[in-house]
């Protein structure tokens, strides 16, 4: 049974859904405004603050037209969080591939930087429907290659992401593995990956979650898939990592709530990864919603799952013997 704090958060989310209904964002159809959804996400995030002890340092990924905006989320000099050296988290933000930015994810993912003590590299990528696949995927690979030129060879990289970004980080892992096997020099796989409530199947072939009164907008997943996939095959592994050859991936940790629609996505991906010999673990949050580890720490389940994520990251990111 979920804690009362978790039930309170879900109640507040359902209250917030009434505002989404007024903005025509609660039930999605062809008339739903993507710009309005982006503004809704940005305005909500503007009220959130960075976790104490973490600072945001702006960055630009140059060499592109236009350049990609990015930032470092890192322990501040006087913040009281002991920094972990020679490790970095490469983070892909969520937003259904149609929204998301550094500004609307900064407060959420600063929690991960605080729990691990590691510098976290957060970047923006082009969004659908203006820029369908492969735009976000290509931008993420570009950002990863750029990062490799800015860190020392001994620096350990952990790739992570949430929601669409959780699927994107798995797609990037598959692409990196393919590029390395094809002889591309100068690349290396991250030492581990963390995927929070990932979209692993943009063909939407998974089982529907029978949980009633979901806090997720009705029809949003279908339109995110439509806009991101475009004219491409939704079963392409770089769109839907579930359909990729998963053997050879680094250790993975996936988290999902049992009250979110993507539950089957995470279960199927983890099962397939394990069958391919990958050291893959799945944490299912009982009575939890989408991306529950990133919710406030007053929720015991969010705090517990984030603690387990941090332990996993530190095992591979801070242990020089790994």
Report pLDDT for 322.
36
Element of type H or E holding 307: helix 300-317
* Cα gap 103→143, rounded to integer Å: 17
Task: Give tens-digit pLDDT for 20-39.
Answer: 888 889 889 999 999 999 99
Whether 21 is a known active-site residue: answer no
- Three-state helix/strand/coil letters over 249-273: CCCEEEEEECCCCCHHHHHHHHHHH
Task: Give tens-digit pLDDT for 220-253.
Answer: 999 999 999 999 999 999 999 999 999 999 999 9
Whether 101 is a known active-site residue: answer no
> Which of 44, 52, 45, 94 is closest to 73 using CA atoms?
52
The catalytic residue among 93, 131, 236, 290 is 290
Cα 274 versus chain centre, distance: 21
Report the DSSP beta bridge partners of residue 281.
Answer: 253
Contact (Cβ atoms closer than 8 angstroms) between residue 132 and residue 80: no
Contact (Cβ atoms closer than 8 angstroms) between residue 113 and residue 83: no
Residue 102: pLDDT over 60: yes
pLDDT tier at 308 (50, 70, 90 boundaries)?
very high
The catalytic residue among 259, 260, 266, 301 is 260
pLDDT tier at 321 (50, 70, 90 boundaries)?
very low
Whether 260 is a known active-site residue: answer yes
Q: State the pTM of this model.
A: 0.96
Report pLDDT for 211.
66
Sheet with 252-257, strands from edge to edge, namely 54-61, 68-75, 119-123, 87-92, 156-162, 192-196, 252-257, 280-285
Backbone angles phi, psi at 155, to 5 degrees: -70, 130
Region 100-125: what's the mean pLDDT? 97
Mean pLDDT, all residues of the chain: 94
Report the DSSP beta bridge partners of residue 75.
Answer: 54
Backbone angles phi, psi at 282, to 5 degrees: -125, 125
Specify burial of residue 269 (Cβ count, 10 A radius: 0-12, 13-18, 19+).
Answer: buried
Q: In the block, which residue shows the tokens 């002889």?
A: 183
The catalytic residue among 163, 197, 240, 266 is 163
What CATH code would you report for 4-317?
A: 3.40.50.1820
> Which of 296, 10, 214 is closest to 2 using CA atoms?
10
- Three-state helix/strand/coil letters over 93-153: CCCCCCCCCHHHHHHHHHHHHHHHCCEEEEECCCCCCCCCCCHHHHHHHHHHHHHHCCCCC
More confident residue, 234 or 64: 234
More confident residue, 79 or 119: 119
* Cα gap 186→9, rounded to integer Å: 45
């Amino acid at each position: 049974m979920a804690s009362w704090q978790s039930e309170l958060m879900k109640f507040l989310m359902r209250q917030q859904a009434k505002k989404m209904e007024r903005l025509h964002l609660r039930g999605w159809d062809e008339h739903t405004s993507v710009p309005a959804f982006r503004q809704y996400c940005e305005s909500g995030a503007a009220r959130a603050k960075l976790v104490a002890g973490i600072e945001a340092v702006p960055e630009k990924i140059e060499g592109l037209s236009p350049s990609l905006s990015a930032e470092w989320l890192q322990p501040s000099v006087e913040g009281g969080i002991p920094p972990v050296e020679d490790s970095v988290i490469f983070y892909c933000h969520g937003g259904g591939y149609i929204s998301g930015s550094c500004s609307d994810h900064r407060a959420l993912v600063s929690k991960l930087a605080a729990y691990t003590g590691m510098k976290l590299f957060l970047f923006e990528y082009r969004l659908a429907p203006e820029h369908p696949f492969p735009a976000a995927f290509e931008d993420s690979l570009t950002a990863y290659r750029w990062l490799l030129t800015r860190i020392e060879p001994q620096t350990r990289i952990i790739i992570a992401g949430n929601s669409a970004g959780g699927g994107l980080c798995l797609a990037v892992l598959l692409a990196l593995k393919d590029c390395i096997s094809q002889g591309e020099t100068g690349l290396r796989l991250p030492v581990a990956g963390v995927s929070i409530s990932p979209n692993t199947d943009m063909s939407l072939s998974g089982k529907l979650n029978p949980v009633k009164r979901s806090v997720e907008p009705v029809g949003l997943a279908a339109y995110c898939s439509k806009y991101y996939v475009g004219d491409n095959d939704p079963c392409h592994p770089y769109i839907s990592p579930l359909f990729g050859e998963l053997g050879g991936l680094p250790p993975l940790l996936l988290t999902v709530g049992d009250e979110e629609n993507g539950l089957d996505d995470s279960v199927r991906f983890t099962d397939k990864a394990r069958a391919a010999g990958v050291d893959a673990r799945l944490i299912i949050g009982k009575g939890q919603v989408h991306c529950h580890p990133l919710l406030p720490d007053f929720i015991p389940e969010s705090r517990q799952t984030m603690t387990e994520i941090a332990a996993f990251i530190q095992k591979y990111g801070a242990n020089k013997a790994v």
